[in-house]
Amino acid sequence: MNKALRQAIDSLREVMGDRRCTTNEMKDVLEKFYGYRCPDDLSRSLNKLRAMGVLCGEVDREQACWVWWLPPQGDQPE
């Protein structure tokens, strides 16, 4: 895994911990902790991380949105 991706994962783990976050919560938490808003569509960026196995996500039909979480540390790609 390259250094930039490892740093992104570490940053997400720092702000998310073990909890599940909606896309809107992810926007808020990234701005709160890092003063940063994703320049692209955050949903698209999170989905790319999901496709790489870095982040887990699924549609929550009750909330009508995507919910994201990090897999256990030992389960992430190298």
Q: Please check the confidence at residue 41 and state whether its pLDDT lies above 60.
A: yes
Q: Which of 43, 54, 44, 56 is nearest to 1 (CA)?
A: 54
**What is the pTM (predicted TM-score) of this model?**
0.79
Task: State the pLDDT at residue 77.
Answer: 55
Q: Please check the confidence at residue 76 and state whether its pLDDT lies above 60.
A: no
Three-class DSSP category at 23: helix
Task: State the pLDDT at residue 29.
Answer: 86
Q: Which of 57, 60, 56, 58 is nearest to 75 (CA)?
A: 56
Q: Beta strands of the chain (E only): which ranges? A: 21-22, 56-60, 65-69
Please tell me which residue, 43 or 59, carries the higher pLDDT value: 59
Confidence band (pLDDT; 50, 70, 90) for 68? Answer: very high
Q: Please check the confidence at residue 62 and state whether its pLDDT lies above 60.
A: yes
CA distance 17 to 5: 17
Structural domains in the chain, sorted by start: 3-75 (1.10.10.10)
